[in-house]
Amino acid sequence: MIAFVSGTVAALAPDSAVLEVGGVGMAVQCTPGTLAQLRVGRHAKLATSLVVREDSLTLYGFDDEDARQTFELLQTASGVGPRLAQSMLAVHSPDALRAAVSSGDEKALTAVSGIGKKGAQKLLLELKDRLGEPVSGAAAQVPGQAAGGAGEGWRGQLHAALVGLGYATREADEAVAAVAPQAEAAASAGTEPPVPQLLRAALQTLNRAR
């Protein structure tokens, strides 16, 4: 098992980072929130979880050990693979997930793309005795309850991710505004705006502008 990687950030992409470790570029899958904290050319250390498949070896990276452990615990529930576990952590912090599960907050789980009402109910039952109680008493955010009002959660994550990828604040502002209709359409449909997809769309907008 690779518990962590530590090295210089060599490259950043919408859903991954490359860290140079001992002359080797390690590709690590990360959430937008994690990517937003990284800067090309700077040193970084990520807690990691290696997912082994017959045809692939995929390394997932996290801000800290708590996020890594939560990622692995989520996958003990039936139907939850690494992609869905990562999506859950892209929407909610580990403590917010613990709060949601311990309080039976179905709406918080359905805010994650790929989780419907029945899936959320099943996850609440399976994870109740696995994630534990929230450490800080944080409440899980759901669509319309993010700090600053509805939709502010995705805006903040997306803006931070773009700045983390090296774009100027003005460019990030313009890109967020460009994809706002797409995010608002998702919110109107009762789902959490998908930050990874919005990030890809924002990058396409920025590339066309250059």
- Distance (Å, whole) CA 38 – CA 181: 28
Is position 195 within any domain? yes
Is position 165 within any domain? yes
Looking at the fold, whether 46 and 92 belong to one and the same domain comes out as no
Domain count, the chain: 3
pLDDT above 70: residue 44: yes
Asked whether the beta carbons of 59 and 50 are under 8 A apart, the reply is yes
Is position 69 within any domain? no
> At 122, which CATH number?
1.10.150.20
| Mean pLDDT within 15-38 | 91
> At 32, which CATH number?
2.40.50.140
Confidence at residue 184, expressed as pLDDT on a 0 to 100 scale: 85
pLDDT above 50: residue 176: yes
- Least confident range from 9-23, 72-86, 110-124, 135-149: namely 135-149
Structure tokens of 86?
């990562």
Structure tokens of 198?
């919005």
Looking at the fold, whether 15 and 54 belong to one and the same domain comes out as yes
Expressed as residue numbers, the domain containing 187 is 152-209
- Distance (Å, whole) CA 34 – CA 71: 14
- Distance (Å, whole) CA 102 – CA 131: 8
* Residue appearing with tokens 């996290």: 62
Looking at the fold, whether 195 and 169 belong to one and the same domain comes out as yes
Asked whether the beta carbons of 89 and 49 are under 8 A apart, the reply is no
Taking the model in full, what pTM does it have?
Answer: 0.69
Looking at the fold, whether 156 and 196 belong to one and the same domain comes out as yes
Confidence at residue 150, expressed as pLDDT on a 0 to 100 scale: 39
| Mean pLDDT within 157-180 | 82
Query: What CA–CA distances, in Å, run from 186 to 142, 151, 182?
Result: 13, 10, 7
- Least confident range from 47-51, 84-88, 140-144: namely 140-144
At residue 136 the predicted structure's pLDDT band, cuts being 50, 70 and 90, is low
Is position 156 within any domain? yes
Give the N- to C-terminal CA distance of the chain in Å, as an integer.
42
